[in-house]
Chains A and B, each alone.
Chain A
Amino acid sequence: MAKERPVDIVIVGTGMGGAAFAWQMSRLAPKLKILCLERGKWLKPDAMRAASPDWQSAALGAWATSPNARLAAGGNPWSADYAIDDGESPLKPLMWNGVGGSSVNWAAHFPRMKPSDFKTHSLDGVGIDWPYSYADLEPFYDLNDVMTGVCGLDGDPAYPPKSKRSTPPLPIGKAGERAGQAFNKLGWHWWPVDAAINTAPYGGRGACNNCGPCLLGCMRGAKSSCDLTYLPAAMANGVEVRSECLVQRVVVENGRATGVIYADAAGLLHEQPATFIVVAANGIGTTRLLLASGLGRDPASVLGRYLMMHPVAYARGLFDDVLDGPAGPVGAALYSHEFYETDVSRGFARGFQIQVTRENSPLAQALRLSPAWGARAQRDLAEEFHHSMVLMIVTEDLPDPDNRVTLLDKIETDGLPGVKMRYAVSDNTKAMIDWGYGRTSDILKAAGAKREIRAPLPPMTGWHLLGTARMGDDPRRSFVDASGRCHEVAGLIVADGSVMPTVGAVNPGSTIGAMALKMASELAEEIA
């Protein structure tokens, strides 16, 4: 094994958490030697598929959002995927395992959590309170927005005042306008999304041209993935990013994390000593690495438990007239927070957002039909394609210790133990979806839809892998403290969505970046 020269900080993973942490440390503590290790590669724009005739079928195979689907298709050379046993989870894990992490193939909807999300136990008697408040995180949300480049419109009355967005809001299309008018008719809140997408040149990157399939990666660089935002800025500050370096173990000696063992592209093992080890490999990858390193062995440990994913349910309204089809960023148009907060008369705790998104490609829509073949399927597709409004109920997922990530009793080809996720949709979530479907019917009726098609809990929606190394002040109930420091050993920090004690009903990218900036600030203050 090659022994590398020690560094001050080694960061495992270059997604939103790792990349934001690296940049913030590099500017606040410029003398430190900071190294990022990433198991996958830098994805080049000309390798992406949005300009290729096979773009629709690519999204089902080697360019799918699911690592298991990519592996089944023979793998994607840019994403160093590992198999995840998801047989006991109705929702399947989605991610990207290359430089930039899952910001490479995300939909880039970029909402903040809300003040009440940090106090669900105090306010509503469910979940657990965060060890800090929205106000504590707010300056880091602001900084994260600036670094990422967020389009949108300030002034949303569903949030405390926010700074001016980097670029104007995305076009919402005919379907979005019709949805907005329906919300207005009902007297309900709605607002155009905050999205990590340039609608005008910003940060040295160009503007989105509404091509649609953001999940294939953005060839234009208009979508703000971390390989285009934080990482180049961090590297300009002296941070080293070593790609194709697969971390297999965190080294722990005498109660302190002292480095990592990683395999390079040739399979050669390296020992990388570091004063601080930051792990940011998402709720599954982080847990897998830490468990494989011997952490969380105490049966009472929370490591791996409380997996949360934001279960979603779709409602599609069909219209006689022609709408947008798959034009515009697929995951983002507008949202409503009308039903975000707890109202006990509804029969469930907490709430949900309603997102209005865009249509998928013709092939994706055709294969979603049941059955997906025959004359009836073709009639249904022709009736729906270019004629639908897509509503998505995004639910708050409450922490449950039995939803968890564990290791399998076998070693995978990447040298780490296999990993399994076990997850069940809660009764609270089911009640939320049932009630939410009543509201989507209200919206579609107000919008003039002739028919509604429902798709509750589609499997390929496990984007948000959160909560498995949660933070808190009590070591018996949390894995890390409010600064991301591991309670169990010194020198180890977790800086991704794993640490979120609760997750609100919004996409987590914005919060993950803000948390990582905050953690890095606190570490810099301590050691600089």
Chain B
Amino acid sequence: MSSSKFLATLVDSIAPGGVATEAVTLPPASLVGCDLALAAAMSGSSNLRAIVEVIAERAGSAEAFVGSKASVRADNLETVQRDRPDQFASLVTVTQAHYYTHPQVLAALNWPARPPQPAGHALPPFDEGLLAPVRARGAIWREC
């Protein structure tokens, strides 16, 4: 069992992908490289290494985690989250930070796969006509 297989299964448990809504089908995390991002982050973080080890230990071994059903893996992660919330949150953040910034995921969410600048976003100008009922009501501020 390679650790890469374990990490791929782990990130796919965090962001499994699939049909999310009628309009949105998301890729699994390993398909967009979250396992590699996690491995890179682990090399500089003892906290991340520790929480990943705990997850494997809780399953019996990395192989057992990979070989278990999705529901069993989810139970495992829920237990670890309850026992070590801060470390688990770091794991989720690292995984999701890579996932939700990946162009393939943003495209799946129907959102442009580019940073906000320099293009910005086009929005129509404000329509003052919407305020007609507010104006018609008159002043409401409290005089004092």
Q: Which A positions have Cβ atoms within 8 angstroms of B? A: 49-57, 60, 114-116, 119, 122-123, 153, 155, 157-160, 168-173, 177, 180-181, 183-184, 187, 189-192, 208-213, 219-220, 322, 324-328, 337-338, 341, 361-363, 366-367, 371-375, 378-379, 381-383, 385-386
Contacts and interface: CB of A to CB of B under 8 A. Distances in A.
Contact of A172 (B20, B97, B116, B126): B126
Contact of B141 (A159, A209, A362): A159
B21 A169 contact: no
Given A157-B141, A379-B21, A51 B117 contact: yes
Contacts of B26: 378, 382
B111 A325 contact: yes
A173 B137 contact: no
Contacts of A189: 134, 137, 140
B121 interface: yes
Nearest to A170: B126
A115 B144 contact: yes
Interface string B109-133: 1110001111111111111101101
A211 B2 CA distance: 43
How would you classify the secondary structure of chain B's contact residues: helix, strand, loop or mixed?
A: loop
Chain B contact patch, size range: 35 or more
B17 interface: yes
A51 B114 CA distance: 8
Given A171-B124, A211-B121, A361-B100, 10 more contacts: A51-B117, A115-B143, A153-B128, A153-B131, A157-B140, A169-B126, A362-B106, A373-B95, A374-B74, A378-B15
A420 to B, nearest CB: 21
A327 B119 CA distance: 11
In order of increasing CB-CB distance, the 8 nearest A-B pairs are A209-B120, A382-B20, A327-B121, A211-B116, A171-B123, A51-B117, A382-B24, A363-B100
How would you classify the secondary structure of chain A's contact residues: helix, strand, loop or mixed?
A: loop
Given A171-B123, A177-B127, A363-B101, A379 B118 contact: no
Contacts of A55: 115-116
B117 A50 contact: yes
A114 B139 CA distance: 13
Nearest to B136: A157
Given A169-B126, A171-B124, A373 B97 contact: no
B97 A56 contact: yes
B134 A51 contact: no
A202 B14 CA distance: 47
Interface string B78-121: 10010000000100110111011100011001110001111111
